[in-house]
Structure 1
């Protein structure tokens, strides 16, 4: 992408159907909840607005769960085109209230990215779905930062940024949580690996979403080996209340075999684990649904292109 360096929390992107021009998906940022979004050139066919000039306006209707919301596509300077959806914003804020809180929480990166999916009915009428995309890239970045800052002081961290400082603070409580888990368990919940140095104290409900008490609650965690911790953390596996494993459709049979997991695995679940597991399952099924939607967009061998706005033109 041209236009120089762009902060992670400001990247705006679209996905679209390049063959039939029926679908477009917008990843939302802070500004999306104030006015709307610019439409990149390659996405304009979906909204039939390629010929809109400066000062031109096109009225459209957005349908969300049967309710109609007026919106407008307008031409701006330098050939830019913007879609404004002010009447949809209150509903967006209601549906994405947790994600908006993340946006408002200084510059903390969110792993739950709110998005709008537009499906064309006519040139002026679009069905809208409100979905969540889970940014595993952001999760991996935070894991990388955790390693990078392990031996640095808080003063050094402050010069780098608030997100990294929070990771450092998180590490202080991680040892307490790990010690509490080891008082109850001594091996990987799934494969039985008992080498203490290799075991990870894995939160069921993410640390970033937990209350202070939940962060240190040993029932909000499992001891897992590195492979199974990664699978659980990325919601590629989850568990029913009876301990039966749930496998993601994103894992092939070969990958399941290599990672030593199968549909017959059952682990011991205590009553106190269940409220945290329910939240983990809810996220798991949301991701599975999003994965299914992405697969649907790939019909008839079409490609879905990721388009980032060129900030140099702003």
Structure 2
């Protein structure tokens, strides 16, 4: 297959590209660097989002486009950074849809990265793909506009999937390296009330799910989360146990808000999002239990 990835050098994108290449698929990474070239078989770089580039020519006839592009949300949410987070996602998605419009042979599917932040936050509600959004915070608004732009690809006969990621866990990227740091220093403990839900997913499942969405007749929103979310207090206790470190220092919400500002919602609030659609389509998770995941990650 011929598969294009926007955001292919990020944590998720690079893992996906590696797996696709290992299976001898032709992978095309969209890049702003016109001079970037590849010496890896099956890997190609396609100039994009700079003046004079015409990615639609090289990508014409591609089987799938996977859009994971966007500025990291893990920098403090100043007004400038919030604008960059929003604009980078919306602009990249608009560009991809415009590219699809100009193709003589558009892709069969567009998989657009998204987030469970779409639903808003709650300590009591359970969210599936059928749930409406109850969020009006920055993340929810960003995700709604992001998906709104991606949905326009359907006008050109392209099956469109919104992969709503939970917290992605991997040994060398995602949330795990940052979350384990306090425990390695012996100061790990419950963040905020501990009642907030953590909808997590292992990076191996993320990559497998993206491939599943390419091959399976699935469309619309897809929650990319483990079927067994946990509350933050359990998440922390299991992390500390796996590292053989104490889970004892409670970090109150005001302290987190003082340090992180508005971005504190990423750890102080959450949502219980379940992968109903994936399970209905027969996807089998490789990693379901947080204890097993932490024990696996600590060994890498």
TM-score, normalised to structure 2, is 0.27
- Structure 1 or 2: larger strand share? 1
Bigger Cα Rg: 1
